[in-house]
Structure 1
Amino acid sequence: MKIKIAVFGHKDISHKLYSYATTQEDIEIFLFEYSNPDETVALVEKAIMCDIYLFTDALAYLYAKELIDKKRLPAVQVDFNAYMILSSFYRLTNDYKREVKRLSIDIPENKHVDEVLHDLNINDQDIYTYSYGNDPYVDTGRIASYHEKLWQEGKIDFVLTSIREVDQIIRKKGIPGNCMIIPELNLVRAMEKAKSIATINNSQGSQIVTSYVRIKSIKTNRSEKNDLYMRELHSKLQRILMNYSSKVSASVISLSNGQFVLFGTHRMLDHITSSYRDFALLNEIENALNTPVDIGFGLGLSPKQADDNAKLALKTCEEKEDGTCYIINERRDMIGPLGVKKEFNPSALYRSLIHKAKLNNELSYNFIDFIEVRNNEPFSSNDIATYYGVTKRSAERTIKKLVAGNVIKVIGEEKPYIKGRPRKLFKLNQ
């Protein structure tokens, strides 16, 4: 059965998603177009037969948010993120021949602007940002007035807005500006996210989650600490897991050797799938126990499948010196480590991609986004092919350019779960 996705947006953006959807056999798109974002609430009421709601406009999502929260509707909005800011800066310097300075910008979250300015080492003293994501209601007139005031005071030469209605207002006033274009990659990622959430929601009634939690190096701890200390450690861990299990409707069983197993269903699944980047449970345990802990989550359509995958995820944790957390789903895809952000230098990487690997700007931005999404984990050509939806041959051509430019290096091999030749693994050469 196809996943039905309701798409809310202006005509040109929504049709871009529709074109992408025609290449996907497992989804069906229903377009709800508007001329003004405040029409979204009425349109949401009409999308009653859809599995998930996708918003291409941050303003439209904010208008509909109260209704979405009230009815607990599954919804996704296209990211207005650092990549979008970076793309807008690129267009500013190349299409408009302007320097990235004396600007005013409006965006849902100003942290994305700060990230890009920091990475590009740009002075932000003459760049002004209006963040409307936390406003009780979004007033396009007020946002336009913010830009106009800065223009009249002679503090800015150009406006970058993420809202079409604001762009129309400032243009009528003769203020130089431009509306940011949502990168195609952001649209595709939003569609994939919507599809993933809808798939989980449709199957969560039968999906089982098993998790093994274990104090790392338990034998070493026992040899160095007394029995009272170990019992206290075990009790602390049990209390934390009991509290966690009550939040996610899971069951906890204490095993031997400082190990616990948890069993849950959709509430536990909802929690872990929303915490890939910042898995608070692992941090809470390690801070309370002052010792590293491993957590392995397994997803499955049967208890045995979930248990086997959880054990495999826990075994993966053994290969790391510090406490870690991994997930292995019913297809035996590995996700993780959770909550561990691996840093890299996007600016240095961008320069290497352009000057050493000889990639164009779009491919360079895409690759930076790929590294960020994968949390700077080792990757194979198959990972690139899967992520971008290209052929393996096309991905291998990109890999060759990256290796030749000394941007990445081979660090080993991985063995697929099914029979086949080992695949080379690569990582950034930073």
Structure 2
Amino acid sequence: MEKLRMAIVGPSDSVSLAYAVALERNDILSPQVIVYQDASQVPELMQARCPEFDMWLFSGIVPYHYALSVSTHKPLFYLPHTGSSLYRALLEITYIKNLKLHRISFDTYSQVEVEETFKDISLPLPTIYVKPFSDVASAKEFANHHYELWQAGKIDIAVTCFLATYEKLKELGVPVFRVWTTRSNIRTTLDLAINSCLAQRFKGTQLAIQEIAIDEYDNIVLASSSYNVKRMEMCLYKILIDYAEMLKGSLISRGDGQYTLYSTRGILEDSTNELTIIPILEEISCQVKAAVSGGIGFGVTAYDAEQNAFRALGMAQQKGKGLWMAVTDDREVIGPLSSAVHLKYSVQADAASCKRVADQLNLSVTTVNRLLAVIDKLDKDTFGAEELAAYLTITARSARRILTILLDNGLTEFAGEEMIAKGRPRKLYKIKVQLLLAHFT
């Protein structure tokens, strides 16, 4: 079997350890190291070298979050700094450097994680200051957090997960220790990455069948001349031939305005942006004088894929005209894929534009992209801080900060208040979507 090509991305010291452990799996892995000076370089590195690899492994959560801003179907993973990694740092402090654990600051971890680590190893809990990771945090912010505590005389030791933070604090004279992921954590993550990539490779070779039909074909035949019907069918057939060529598939006309297109799942998902758009819908709408519906089916066998395709077509036609649905091999239903939301808000901005907007708003590239994705997916532009926090998986405080930044830049406006059962009404903000998107042009 062809080996899986893995990119291991991070600062030099972190990736060298991950690379050494990855070589233990050289029976199936072909790892390659990509070193950066700053995590913000990740999107540029990925866009330049994405075709070279089957999957990407990042040294921590910061480069991983930068990677999320890149449009790719390749699996992404990162090495977590779990409790065992923290044990290692505490061991270095107490038994190697012989320092006392009186007052310490931590980043990335939550308060609960730090407290439980001390309980697990039966150490008395010192005075601790914790700054958890969030999308809007950076290595510079973490360095400032630790340094301000040290200058104020509140801590004796800082513990960080970031190389840039570690180097800055050392330069400032702060006693600092770095959390490293353990070999055990690396092996666990590698197993997960290998299994996920193999599963994706298997799914990519699955058969994909599309059942395509002209809606209300019988009524069209009764209302039009046979010549006009033939012209309509020929027009659609030409579009579908080009579509089949794009998918490296084969097309069969079943008669009475019905067609079947055979291809593979991997190529289809690449061509439809992971089943979010159908590239020929606009062309059909402009050139074919009839609504055309489609059903996509996946399956291990041709029979399963065909049955799922007919199920998807039936559901599309039940919902309306000119819609497309998909049914996966595990009967998951996706769609309608012709949703106007995708046409209205699907923005694939290049990395430079994303970074420019993020820098202008003092937000991370990941936050900007995820905000657009939320607007895209939900087809709404009005949020409260708590609601936005839930969708972005960040704290309500961080969500309020994002909304305040957008408000200060004229990209949101107050949209009233939301009455809740208890407590004060929550403020609602309307995001000026078109104005926000204009920043990318």
Q: TM-score range by the shorter chain?
A: 0.3 to 0.5
TM-score (norm 2): 0.44
Q: TM-score, normalised by structure 1?
A: 0.45
Larger Rg: 2
